[in-house]
Structure 1
Amino acid sequence: MGDVLALVEARLRTALGEPDARAAVTFLGTDRIEVLRFTDETDEKNGAVVRYATLGMSAAPMADPTSALADPVAGPRAELVLSVRAGRADTDKVLRPLAVLAASPQVEGVVVAPGASLDVGEPLWPGAPFTSVLVTASGGLVEDLELDDPMDPVRFLPLLPMTQNEAAWKRVHGAAALEEKWLNSGTDLRDPLRRSVSLDQ
């Protein structure tokens, strides 16, 4: 499926520009996952934004863990994209946690989809108030990549870091309710050091 990953990387470059760094992580029993870093300098008001995108998760379709036999061709495919403001924290340390999340379909047999919570069990980067992320819908920053039938398109799923309180609140009230809280509070979801949104009812 190297051809799929070549198409995925080309789509990332088209949407985000040339990567300024990349790292590869290999876990026992899994294919290699790369994480590419892109820097966007276009927001003069708020400063540069760094985007981290996985490359390798979409090499194979994600299999339904309840299915007796995984389809090697058909099934949902995805890569993960995280955007944070540059220079406020050592966010490059997120490379390994992102690779862990991208490997989770292979390791744990999970299907990563919008609305899901993913937890790495440790801060996403040094000093981060987040150990988990909310997976949101694709189609905004990087357009879905159509593949030849019978393969499903590759979806580029944005990740939004969650504090522990937000993750717990989301488990009770749902992803849409948490996103509404963030929106109504004007939360800067790209701030790598932001505090939890007020969750009072």
Structure 2
Amino acid sequence: MGEVLALVEARLRSALGEPDARAAVTFLGTDRIEVLRFIDGDVVRYATLGMSARPMNDPEDALADPVKGPRAELVLSVRAGSAETDKVLRPLAVLASSPQVEGVVVAPGNSMDVGEPLWPGAPFTSVLVAESGGLVEDLELGGPMDPVRFLPLLPMTPNEAAWKRVHGAEKLQERWLTQGTDLRDPLRSSVPLT
């Protein structure tokens, strides 16, 4: 477990630079989840560290495999300065602990909801999980372990989350793209959905 997390942190540092802050959260019955903050010009990136320590297993499986199964960490990027986005640390840790707590497998196209604003004044309570491989490359661990995927999180307004449930993640992402939506804007309004 410690070896995997050391490799994950090294990959995050090589892709995003040195973290300027980190915080740790532990929920009852779960492993410790850290959130690292990286500053890149006017963009702040928050990355979880700890979710990938164990593989995610399908809750339908009778026995959880301690080695095989998907592994991931979460990455959120927002513009700095216009909101108290550092308050996202606890909600991010909640999302990162969901495979252990709820037995979910986090994958691209999933919606994840924390039930409260991601930070004070945020119009978002949920996120869309996007495809890995862009900002931080997947980390190969060597067989039989699956690679660690660094999954970007895209904040969604409640209207966008509801629209996504009906039309799907791909259609929502197309809508954001055609409308030129700045997904890093921590105070943006919902994209037009009609």
The bucket for the TM-score relative to the shorter chain is over 0.9
Question: What code does the residue aligned with 1:29 have?
Answer: G
The yes-or-no answer on 1:138 pairing with 2:139 is no
Question: What code does the residue aligned with 1:171 have?
Answer: R
Question: What code does the residue aligned with 1:77 have?
Answer: R
Alignment match, 1:25: 25
Alignment match, 2:82: 88
Alignment match, 2:10: 10
Q: Following superposition of structure 1 onto structure 2, how do residues 115-194 of structure 1 map, counting pairs within 5 Å?
A: 115-194=109-188
* CA deviation after TM superposition for structure 1 residue 7, in Å: 0.1
Alignment match, 1:37: 37
Query: Where does structure 2 lack aligned partners over 5 or more consecutive residues?
Result: none
- C-alpha separation between the residues in 2 aligned to 1:148 and 1:31? 23
- C-alpha separation between the residues in 2 aligned to 1:196 and 1:89? 17
* CA deviation after TM superposition for structure 1 residue 9, in Å: 0.1
Question: What code does the residue aligned with 1:105 have?
Answer: P
Q: Give the aligned length.
A: 194
Shift >6 Å, 4+ stretches: none
Alignment match, 2:69: 75
Once the two structures are superposed, what CA deviation does each residue of 1:143-181 show, in whole Å capped at 9, x if it has no partner? 000002100000000000000000000000000000000
SS of 1:130's equivalent in the other structure is coil
Query: Where does structure 1 lack aligned partners over 5 or more consecutive residues?
Result: 42-47
Q: TM-score under structure 1 normalisation?
A: 0.96
Once the two structures are superposed, what CA deviation does each residue of 1:11-69 show, in whole Å capped at 9, x if it has no partner? 0000000000000000000000000000001xxxxxx1000000000000001011111
- C-alpha separation between the residues in 2 aligned to 1:191 and 1:136? 17
* Identity level (%): 85
Q: TM-score under structure 2 normalisation?
A: 1.00
